[in-house]
């Protein structure tokens, strides 16, 4: 059975995993641990646990439990001191405190949710994402970086994790054994890059003989990736990884969202353009209609704003399984 590893976090990984779990492949999701916003941020600050939110989304995506159990892990409280918290986040954090280790907590949660695959934190170190801008300003924490709208204007001098993060051995093993590694989609600076700021992960990824695939976002984010083309994302990632032309395949969307959806998204970003700079250099470029129909549901109970325009899990999986 082909071993497929995803690297990312948030709704991007959820979408990829939700589609691929319907095919006969062995799945491992490597997930960023830099999240410090929303429910995850509150839990890590109050209880000293690692952020559970992105891990929970991947567990639910790979779950073969009944609908009630999956809805339970995604249930978000709407009142009292728990308002905005997600049951799954609380559950994973409690398990971490009981077992003493997040990876052991995830093993227990995976059994309860009947997960088909593995969900692996990229690091078990408690870290903060730091970005130093070219104007001298320092942004500390994924939440601050996400909210800051002038990254593109001033430019990022460097990004790193503080303190220095040790790679989770399970993540390195998964990369070494993978046949295909899929990076993205997801927020470039807060969901994707933090995984590769764990130095051993970048080295293992660059050295891997697996087919390496980048799935491009549908939308650019104002203040972060203004006017980016598909190749701008690829080049930025390869700069962090430290190896040019490391991606064998780039998958991107070719269908424009409806104008009404673009207007609803207008305060957050604009559709990603393909650009005229897609030089092959040994790469394969695959363009397809990957767009989900309609508007993704959002919740007033949620601490975070969710993306309105998303990939269709089924469409994306059909492209990826052929690689």
> Residues 11-17: what's their mean pLDDT?
95
241-257 pLDDT tens trace: 999 999 999 999 999 88
- Predicted confidence at residue 261, as pLDDT, reads 82
> Residues 298-310: what's their mean pLDDT?
51
Considering the domain boundaries, does residue 161 fall inside one?
A: no
- Predicted confidence at residue 278, as pLDDT, reads 76
Considering the domain boundaries, does residue 231 fall inside one?
A: yes
Residue 181: in which H helix or E strand, if any? strand 180-183
Asked if residue 148 has pLDDT above 90, the reply is: no
> Beta partners for 86?
76
Considering the domain boundaries, does residue 137 fall inside one?
A: no
Number of domain units in the chain: 1
Strand 249-253 relative to strand 284-288, pairing: parallel
Considering the domain boundaries, does residue 141 fall inside one?
A: no
User: Rounded distance, CA 205 to CA 256, Å?
Assistant: 32
CATH of the domain at 69: 3.40.50.10680
Give backbone dihedrals phi and psi of 270, rounded to 5 degrees, phi first: -135, 160
> Residues 44-68: what's their mean pLDDT?
90
Please tell me the total number of residues recorded for the chain in this structure. Answer: 323
- Predicted confidence at residue 263, as pLDDT, reads 85
Expressed as residue numbers, the domain containing 256 is 3-124+168-320
Asked if residue 29 has pLDDT above 70, the reply is: yes
- Any idea which of 146-150, 163-167, 246-250 has the lowest mean pLDDT? 146-150
Rounded alpha-carbon distances, angstroms, from residue 78 to 47, 81, 213, 303 = 21, 9, 39, 11
C-alpha 186: how far from its chain's center?
5
């Amino acid at each position: 059975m082909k071993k497929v590893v995803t690297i990312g976090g948030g709704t991007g990984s959820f979408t990829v995993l939700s589609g691929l779990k319907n095919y006969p492949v062995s799945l491992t999701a490597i997930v960023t641990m830099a999240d410090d916003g929303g429910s995850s941020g509150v839990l890590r600050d109050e209880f000293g646990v690692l952020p559970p939110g992105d891990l929970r989304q991947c567990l639910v995506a790979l779950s073969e439990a009944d609908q009630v159990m999956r809805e339970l892990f995604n249930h978000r409280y709407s009142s009292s001191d728990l308002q905005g918290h997600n049951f799954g986040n609380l559950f994973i954090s409690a398990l971490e405190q009981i077992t003493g280790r997040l990876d052991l907590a995830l093993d227990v949660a995976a059994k309860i949710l009947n997960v088909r695959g593995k969900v692996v934190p990229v690091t078990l170190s408690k870290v903060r994402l730091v970005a130093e801008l070219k104007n001298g300003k320092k942004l500390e924490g994924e939440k601050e970086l996400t909210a800051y709208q002038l990254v593109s204007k001033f430019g990022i001098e460097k990004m790193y994790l503080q303190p220095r993060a040790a790679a989770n051995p399970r993540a390195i093993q998964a990369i070494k054994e993978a046949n295909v590694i899929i990076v993205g989609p997801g927020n470039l600076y807060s969901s994707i890059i933090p995984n590769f700021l764990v130095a051993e992960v970048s080295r293992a990824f660059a050295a891997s003989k697996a087919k390496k695939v980048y799935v491009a976002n549908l939308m650019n984010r104002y203040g972060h990736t203004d006017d980016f083309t598909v190749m701008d994302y690829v080049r930025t990632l390869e700069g962090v990884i430290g190896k040019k032309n490391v991606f064998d395949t780039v998958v991107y969307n070719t269908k424009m969202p409806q104008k009404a959806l673009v207007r609803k998204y207008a305060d957050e970003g604009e559709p990603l353009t393909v650009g005229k700079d897609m030089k092959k250099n040994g790469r394969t470029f695959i363009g397809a209609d990957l767009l989900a129909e309609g508007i993704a549901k959002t919740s007033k109970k949620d601490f975070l704003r969710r993306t309105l325009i998303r990939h269709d899990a089924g469409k994306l999986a059909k492209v990826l399984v052929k690689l």
